[in-house]
Structure 1
Amino acid sequence: LGTYYLKHVLGTLDNQPLLASAAYNAGPGRARRWRDNTVPLEGAIYAETIPFNETRDYVKKVLKNSMYYAKVLDHGQDAPTLKERLGVVRAK
């Protein structure tokens, strides 16, 4: 059930793992509301501006662990950098 929900929020939030992990923890409505209204944000800035400590820490841990697993499972070949994985969060 958890993987289905994660795939669902990933699909509804521009296929961005950063937004999906925030949505998984705090709900998709909040992840959408936390976007900037006018300009795109670097993923790291979006993550740091999440107003809930629990969700901000959760997102950081999930993305940090995704880097670890990408390296282990892909044997370190062509794994995206953390900056690439965070991406840019489009404006609302």
Structure 2
Amino acid sequence: MRWLRKKRVLLLLLLGFILVLFLNSAWLSLFYPIYYKDEIRYHAGNNDIDPLIVAAIIKVETNYKPGAESKKGALGIMQIMPDTAKWVIDKAKLEDVALDRVKDESGTNIRIGTWYLKSLSNQFDGNMVAVIAAYNAGPTNVKNWIKSGRWDGRLETTKNIPFGETRHYVQRVSHYYEQYSNIYENL
């Protein structure tokens, strides 16, 4: 009987240790790391965008892999389309930014991506769910969905987003945002 009691105590201690490990955010950050923290913090701050939204978008777009280029031609860790990058460079008057740097320079990519997110946030009155959808599907599509009543711009109704890719994208970005919010008190 004594050995059974000792095993129970050891099992409870082991379970308690495992529980503490998984409830500790420092441990969880190993499963949900954020890279380019300084660049994300700086450019998100300059554009009044939650840095954890930026991190979640980067996680979904490229998993922080620099120099990425999609089959459709989206560039860099935030997967910015060249026409969008040109538009941002022009509208934001980023005279020190060249289009050929967007793909390989993560800081430049984050700078353009966060400015674009701020522009989308202005268009959608700060509705970050609609902003995330527009980042993927384009603002015109999202405005049309909302105007027609097809989608109301809420996370709870993402099933109504007509594009499956965008529906899945919004859900994934929201998932990573939630995880990052639980792990990182501030970025």
The answer, yes or no, to whether TM exceeds 0.5 is yes
Rounded to whole Å, the distance in 2 between the matches of 1:42 and 1:55 is 12
TM-score by length of 2: 0.36
Rounded to whole Å, the distance in 2 between the matches of 1:42 and 1:28 is 12
Rounded to whole Å, the distance in 1 between the matches of 2:117 and 2:135 is 6
1:17 is matched with which residue?
Answer: 128
Greater radius of gyration (CA): 2
| 1:1-92 → structure 2 map (5 Å cutoff) | 1-35=112-146, 37=148, 41=152, 43=154, 44-45=156-157, 47-74=158-185
Deviation at 1:12, TM superposition (A): 1.2
Q: Percent identity?
A: 33
Tell me how large the CA RMSD over aligned residues is: 2.1
Which sections of structure 1, spanning at least 5 residues, go unmatched? 76-92
Task: Give the match's secondary structure for 2:126.
Answer: coil
Deviation at 1:41, TM superposition (A): 4.0
Q: Which has the larger strand fraction? A: 1
1:81 is matched with which residue?
Answer: none
Q: How many residues align?
A: 73
Rounded to whole Å, the distance in 1 between the matches of 2:180 and 2:148 is 33
Which sections of structure 2, spanning at least 5 residues, go unmatched? 1-111
Displacement over 2 Å in runs of 4+: none
1:87 is matched with which residue?
Answer: none
Rounded to whole Å, the distance in 1 between the matches of 2:143 and 2:153 is 15
Deviation at 1:72, TM superposition (A): 1.1
Q: Once the two structures are superposed, what CA deviation does each residue of 1:52-80 show, in whole Å capped at 9, x if it has no partner? A: 111110010011111111111128xxxxx
TM-score by length of 1: 0.69
Rounded to whole Å, the distance in 1 between the matches of 2:147 and 2:120 is 19
